[in-house]
Amino acid sequence: MISSIFEKTKPVNFIILLVFLFLFYWSVQFYLLDIELSEVEIAKSGAILTTLLFSVFIVDFIVKRNKLTGTNSFAILFFTLLFVVFPYTLGDNNAIFTSFFLLLAMRRLLSIKSLKNIKLKIFDAGLWICISSIFYEWALLYLLVVFAAIYIYDPKNKKNWLVLLSVGFCFFIILYGILILLEKPEFIGNHYDFAIDYNAIFPIKIWTSLKMTLYALFNMALAFSAFINLSKSGVGKVITLRLIAFSFVIGLIVNILVTSENNNAVIITFFPSVIFIVNYLESIKKPKLLELLLIAGIMVPIIVFVTKL
């Protein structure tokens, strides 16, 4: 039954998931994070929630435009369910905004494979990554994904490599100008210090470490399975999946390096994780087994979340 609902892209699927995510967001705020109603800032919460909900549409657009999965709604389903697995991500506003701008960057990066307007797409992707770094400075590591895309698709054109220099210059000038107007020019020096707080990383919290380790191993196994299955579909899809896998690795590194209070930067790995999960599900030929896995994928995160409450 669940597979029949989400096996096609329908408006009702978006309504179901957006309503669920809306209600789940406030459940986390009030019951898990113990935020009082009087403490809620309507404008701020509205902007965060709008960004979060709009991220669902971006994920669906990227998946369908680049044909990363079949014509179904499994991608947005599991993107939503990952918030249930990691509910504390909804308490990290910086992570939500960082993830949003990185999704916009991936949208442009994956479209480079068409070999049209490559320089413009590189510029856009680099700029979105720079903007995401305003919230987490280590997000700049995603520029390595841009370098990887250039190396894969058009490495011989030297101008492609120079585009990122123009991105950095434009971003710095615009950001510095805005900070001067806000009378906060010291933000750049304070924010982009790239300091590694080993005391915040170690000692490792057993539950958090175990959960992230299982999450990483789970995705690596799914990625390996996806590479095997897609190897029969042509080189193009395999190359795209390599970029997505590389972005997942970068996301894990950023999640470790970001040591700010209430850090839950794991959200930036949700998009590649979703691609791995859906590609695995689509490889299952038995409808009953697929239905069983979908039910388990929905019920288990919800049960775990309810027990935390």
Neighbours of 28 (CB within 10 A): 21
* Per-residue pLDDT at 34: 81
Stretches where the chain sits below pLDDT 50 are 206-207
* Per-residue pLDDT at 154: 87
The model's pLDDT over 194-243, given as tens digits with 9 standing for 90+, comes to: 877 666 565 555 445 778 888 999 999 999 888 887 766 655 678 889 99
* Per-residue pLDDT at 206: 43
* Per-residue pLDDT at 272: 96
* Per-residue pLDDT at 33: 82
CA angle 120, 124, 130 (to 5 degrees): 145
